[in-house]
């Protein structure tokens, strides 16, 4: 967003960031083995390419280092405030501006606000009876405590989502005994762990067209995957691949049966790993698929009465995407709170603009996350939309824009029509779905279709006004 404003010559903006540095999810998730399962040549901003990725899927330290080095050219130091945690946003309809307050009481006034809060950073800690009584150390996968020694310890991991899939093989290398508490097995596909030799990195730096072609090929390959998620019957080749991977990596038929998912591939995020399944062949790793009934001083009590004694317990139990917004008091037109407006379901026109909340835009708002391709492509599509809309308003001297209720409803209807019959609607638990089974997070369709939908903002989706106190700035 900052880059788009900068290109327009708009310098009067401020980025506020709760942490002391940039990086978002890649700053927060530092657990052992953290890596991106979208190829890095695709999982990077189109205007900040990096020819020097060391492999196809790079790890968290390399992504974070790239992010830290790449923001400086287009964001000036005085345009970003670190350690500024947004506590509330209040719309002033007379002045056509938002008043933002930080948790320390600092205040900012701004004509427009773009929320780039991200969806996955409020840890979901299950309310297992007795969890506060545990005498060992425990933490969530996104709050890794690097100072705590784990070598030789009895470690438990709750959860088998994509975070667990990455950290279990690393913990297996150092634990005295590692117990993985599995509620639902996960589909695992092989990960093509290709290193990119230095000569090729130099070639990609010298010949940007080749790098661009590589990016295009990776994008198209992942879009083909979207077909298998939208029409699960076409996923037979991916299912066969995953089953063969499981058969090849786990020789014990009883263990294999416990690791085999019984829901459609893609219903939860598909894991890519060559190391997760073989971890269970190690003598110091145990898969526990009995339900957890409680946590006690010395470990985890299972529903069948057994106690698994532990020194450390890791919650790889995912995130609460809705709490990201719920933790901030956002008051829009006529004193309406966003948490009330979104109580039944988060809704926004094109996933970006909520009716009743003028001049406020969401990057990765409701139903614009992806389960199959680089989410940065969605973010850049949204930036394109917001940038063009604001420019149009500037040219017309307008200072207030609000999505219509009809535009909001049209987007929700489109999502709801496309959702049934997809792999994501296959009956599993996932953060894409709320307690009532509604898809609150995912865009349903190829990502290029979303870009086509949003690239040219339609006036009919919005209501525009001019203020008496000034034009758009
Ligand atoms: P997640 O996919 O939501 O998985 C949470 C895990 O915790 C599930 O296995 C869940 O079991 C288990 N769980 C939750 N509550 C439990 C309880 N009370 N008892 C037992 N098990 C419990 O979380 P995540 O692995 O952190 O991944 C979240 C998202 O982050 C992913 O979907 C993905 O979008 C993103 N991510 C991306 C990458 C990447 O490489 N790009 C890597 C990691 C994460 P059930 O399945 O039975 O609910």
**Angle at Cα 347 formed by Cα 125 and Cα 380, nearest 5°?**
85
Res 322 pLDDT > 80: no
Q: Per mean pLDDT, which range of 68-72, 215-219, 251-255, 418-422 is the poorest?
A: 68-72
Q: Could you tell which of 44, 55, 168, 183 is best to mutate to test the pocket of ligand 1, judged by most ligand atoms within 8 Å of the CB?
A: 183
CA of 318, closest atom in ligand 1: 23
Confidence of residue 469 (pLDDT cuts 50, 70, 90): low
Q: Could you tell which of 62, 138, 161, 291 is best to mutate to test the pocket of ligand 1, judged by most ligand atoms within 8 Å of the CB?
A: 161
CA separation, residue 406 to residues 24, 69, 378, 385, 411 (Å): 33, 42, 23, 18, 9
Q: Which of 70-79, 412-421, 432-441 has the highest mean pLDDT?
A: 412-421
Count CA atoms within 13 Å of residue 445 on its CB side.
15
CA distance 365 to 233: 29
At 330-369, the pLDDT tens digits run 999 999 999 999 999 999 999 999 999 999 999 999 999 9
Contact 365, 348 (CB under 8 A): yes
CB-based burial, 301-320: b 16+ in 10 Å, e otherwise: bbeeeeebebbbbbbbbbbb
Res 313 pLDDT > 70: yes
CA distance 194 to 57: 8
% of the chain beyond a pLDDT of 90: 87
pLDDT at 294: 97
CA distance 415 to 357: 21
Q: Which of these, 1, 2, 18, 23, lies nearest to 75 by C-alpha position? A: 2
pLDDT at 77: 79
Res 473 pLDDT > 70: no
Contact 157, 178 (CB under 8 A): yes
State in Å: Cα 311 to ligand 1 middle: 22
Q: Region 259-269: what's the mean pLDDT?
A: 94
Contact 300, 310 (CB under 8 A): yes
Q: Where are the alpha helices (DSSP H) in 327-464?
A: 338-341, 375-396, 405-418, 447-454
Residue 140 structure tokens: 């969530």
DSSP conformational letter for 470: B
CA distance 301 to 40: 41
CA distance 174 to 140: 18
pLDDT at 120: 86
DSSP conformational letter for 15: E
CB of 164 within 6 A of ligand 1: the answer is yes
Q: pLDDT averaged over the chain?
A: 94
**3-state class of 242 per DSSP?**
helix
Res 321 pLDDT > 90: no
Residue identifier of the C-alpha nearest atom 4 of ligand 1: 161
Res 303 pLDDT > 90: yes
Res 229 pLDDT > 70: yes
Q: Indicate the burial class of 404 (C-beta count within 10 angstroms; 0-12, 13-18, 19 or more).
A: middle
**Angle at Cα 436 formed by Cα 435 and Cα 438, nearest 5°?**
100
Q: Which of these, 159, 139, 169, 138, lies nearest to 59 by C-alpha position? A: 169
CB of 175 within 6 A of ligand 1: the answer is no
At 34-59, the pLDDT tens digits run 999 999 999 999 999 999 999 999 99
State in Å: Cα 160 to ligand 1 middle: 6
Residue 331 structure tokens: 């008051």
Confidence of residue 471 (pLDDT cuts 50, 70, 90): very low
Residue identifier of the C-alpha nearest atom 21 of ligand 1: 159
Residue 342 structure tokens: 């979104």
CB of 183 within 6 A of ligand 1: the answer is yes
Q: Region 13-42: what's the mean pLDDT?
A: 95
Res 399 pLDDT > 80: yes
Question: Hunting for tokens 């890791």 — which residue is that?
Answer: 314
User: 0.85 cut: is pTM over it?
Assistant: yes
pLDDT at 78: 83
The pairing of strands 299-302 and 307-309 is: antiparallel
CA of 35, closest atom in ligand 1: 40
At 87-98, the pLDDT tens digits run 999 999 999 999
At 234-263, the pLDDT tens digits run 889 999 999 999 999 999 999 999 999 999
The pairing of strands 271-272 and 188-189 is: parallel
CA of 160, closest atom in ligand 1: 9
Res 325 pLDDT > 90: no
State in Å: Cα 369 to ligand 1 middle: 15
pLDDT at 467: 66
CB of 136 within 6 A of ligand 1: the answer is no
**3-state class of 451 per DSSP?**
helix
Q: Region 68-77: what's the mean pLDDT?
A: 83
State in Å: Cα 384 to ligand 1 middle: 31
State in Å: Cα 74 to ligand 1 middle: 34
Res 76 pLDDT > 90: no
Contact 56, 172 (CB under 8 A): no
- The separation between CA 200 and the C-alpha centre of its own chain, rounded to angstroms, equals 30
Confidence of residue 226 (pLDDT cuts 50, 70, 90): confident
């Amino acid at each position: 967003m900052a880059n788009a404003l900068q290109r327009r010559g708009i310098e009067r903006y401020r980025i506020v960031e709760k942490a002391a540095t940039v990086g978002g999810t890649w700053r927060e998730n530092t657990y052992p083995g953290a890596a991106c399962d979208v190829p890095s040549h695709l999982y990077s901003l189109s205007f900040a390419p990096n020819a020097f990725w060391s492999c196809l899927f790079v790890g968290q330290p390399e992504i974070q280092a790239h992010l830290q080095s790449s923001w400086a050219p287009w964001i000036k130091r005085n345009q970003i405030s670190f350690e500024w945690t947004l506590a509330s946003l209040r719309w002033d309809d007379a002045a056509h501006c938002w008043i933002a307050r930080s948790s320390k009481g600092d205040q900012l006034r701004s004509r427009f606000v773009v929320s780039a809060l991200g969806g996955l950073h409020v840890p979901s800690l299950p309310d297992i009876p007795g969890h506060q009584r545990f005498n060992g150390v425990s933490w969530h996968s996104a709050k890794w405590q690097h100072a705590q020694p784990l070598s030789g310890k009895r470690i438990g991991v709750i959860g088998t989502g994509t975070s667990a899939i990455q950290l279990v093989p690393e913990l297996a290398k150092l634990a005295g005994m590692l117990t993985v508490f599995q509620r639902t097995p996960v589909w695992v596909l092989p990960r093509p762990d290709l290193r990119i030799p230095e000569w090729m990195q130099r070639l990609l730096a010298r010949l940007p067209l080749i790098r661009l072609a590589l990016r295009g090929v990776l994008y198209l390959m992942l879009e083909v995957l979207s077909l298998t998620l939208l029409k699960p019957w076409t996923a037979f080749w991916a299912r066969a691949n995953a089953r063969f991977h499981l058969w090849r990596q786990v020789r014990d038929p009883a263990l294999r049966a416990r690791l085999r998912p019984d829901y459609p591939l893609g219903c939860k995020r598909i894991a890519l790993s060559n190391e997760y399944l073989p971890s269970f062949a190690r003598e110091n790793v145990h898969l526990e698929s009995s339900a957890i009934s409680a946590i006690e001083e010395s470990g985890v009590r299972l529903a069948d009465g057994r106690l698994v004694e532990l020194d450390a317990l890791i919650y790889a139990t995912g995130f609460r995407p809705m709490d990201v917004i719920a933790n901030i008091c956002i008051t829009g037109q006529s004193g309406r709170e966003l948490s009330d407006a979104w109580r039944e379901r988060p809704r926004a026109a094109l996933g970006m603009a909520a009716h009743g909340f003028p001049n406020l835009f969401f990057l990765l708002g409701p139903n614009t996350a992806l389960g199959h391709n680089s989410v940065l492509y969605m973010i850049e599509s949204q930036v394109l939309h917001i940038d063009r809309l604001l420019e149009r308003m500037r040219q017309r001297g307008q200072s207030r824009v609000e999505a219509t209720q009809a535009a909001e409803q049209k987007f929700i209807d489109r999502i709801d029509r496309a959702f049934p019959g997809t792999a994501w609607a296959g009956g599993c638990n996932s953060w894409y779905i709320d307690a009532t089974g509604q898809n609150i997070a995912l865009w349903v369709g190829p990502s290029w279709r979303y870009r086509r939908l949003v690239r040219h903002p339609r006036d009919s989706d919005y209501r525009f006004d001019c203020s008496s106190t000034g034009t758009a700035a």
